[in-house]
């Protein structure tokens, strides 16, 4: 009975470890999806009410604690301080959140490219820039989801398999 309980515990533990690693892979598409939603809200703020950038970013930041929320909030604060141009402020914000996110270098490049014209062009151009970054992030998100579903499945199975193997070895 004790052996059976032990076996269940070992298999279960490795299964959980596999699931935890697998969930890490699905984090990137989630963050990309939140960023895309944030940019969609920013688009509305700019096209409909021409809200100034720092305020528009705060309104578009969405859920607190998400990578998109932090990125928009930090950028808004730096812009409001007025010491850096909006482009520089955006770059600083991207570099600040990047190490703590699941984003990859190509996601970072897409975000940095968006900042180059931030706040210094007409509404139409600004909206084009937003459309462009959304498109790039969407393409990255599609790839990330495909990759995540394959890799995540592999890690879940691997966890259970390793657990089962160790149980057999202990028997």
Partner 1 sequence: MSEKHLGEKSVSDIITSEILPYLPPGLRRSIALIPKAELDKVHEIRLRTFRPVVLMAGEDEIQPNPPYVFTDDDALMTLQLIACGSLYAFEDDLRQGYITIRGGHRVGLAGRVVLSNGRVETLKDISGFCIRIAHEILGAADRVMKYLIKPPRRLYHTLIVSPPRCGKTTLLRDIARQASCGIPSLDFPGVRVGIVDERSEIAACYKGIPQATCGVRTDVLDACPKADGMIMLIRSMSPDVVITDEIGREEDAIAIREVMCAGVSLIATAHGGSWEEVAKRPALRCLFDGNMFERAIILSQSHGPGTVEAIVDVATGREIASGPLGDGE
Q: Which of 51, 104, 151, 161 binds partner 1 (CB under 8 A)?
A: 51
Q: What is the DSSP string of 81-118?
A: HTSS-HHHHHHHHHHHHGGGSS--HHHHHHHHHHHTTT
CA 150, CA 51: separation in Å to the nearest integer?
A: 42
82 binds partner 1 (CB under 8 A): yes
Q: Which of 34, 56, 67, 110 binds partner 1 (CB under 8 A)?
A: 56
Query: Which residues 6+ apart lie within 8 Å of 125 measured at CB?
Result: 117
131 binds partner 1 (CB under 8 A): no
CA 77, CA 162: separation in Å to the nearest integer?
A: 48
93 binds partner 1 (CB under 8 A): no
Query: Which residues 6+ apart lie within 8 Å of 157 measured at CB?
Result: 18
- Among residues 24 and 119, whose Cβ is nearest to partner 1? 119
φ and ψ of 48, to 5 deg:
-85, -50
- Among residues 82 and 105, whose Cβ is nearest to partner 1? 82
Count residues near partner 1 (CB under 8 A): 20
60 binds partner 1 (CB under 8 A): no
140 binds partner 1 (CB under 8 A): no
Query: Which residues 6+ apart lie within 8 Å of 71 measured at CB?
Result: 35, 38, 93, 94, 97, 111
119 binds partner 1 (CB under 8 A): yes
121 binds partner 1 (CB under 8 A): yes
Q: Which of 31, 54, 101, 167 binds partner 1 (CB under 8 A)?
A: 54
Coil/strand/helix, residue 22: helix
101 binds partner 1 (CB under 8 A): no
- Among residues 23 and 51, whose Cβ is nearest to partner 1? 51
Which residues are at the interface with partner 1 (CB under 8 A)?
Answer: 46, 50-54, 56, 79, 82, 85-86, 89, 118-123, 125-126
């Amino acid at each position: 009975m004790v052996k059976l309980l032990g076996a269940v515990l070992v298999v279960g533990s490795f299964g959980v470890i596999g699931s935890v690693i697998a969930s890490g892979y699905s984090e990137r598409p989630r963050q990309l999806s939140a960023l895309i939603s944030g940019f969609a809200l920013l688009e509305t703020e700019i096209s409909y009410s021409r809200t100034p950038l720092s305020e528009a970013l705060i309104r578009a930041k969405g859920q607190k604690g998400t990578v998109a929320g932090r990125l928009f909030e930090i950028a808004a604060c730096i812009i409001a301080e007025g010491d850096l141009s909006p482009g520089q402020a955006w770059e600083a914000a991207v570099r600040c959140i990047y190490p703590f996110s699941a984003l990859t270098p190509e996601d970072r490049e897409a975000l940095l490219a968006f900042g180059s014209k931030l706040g210094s062009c007409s509404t139409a151009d600004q909206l084009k820039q937003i459309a462009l970054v959304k498109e790039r992030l969407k393409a990255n998100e599609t790839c990330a989801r495909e990759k995540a579903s394959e890799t995540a499945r592999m890690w879940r199975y691997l966890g259970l398999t390793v657990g089962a193997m160790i149980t057999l070895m202990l028997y």
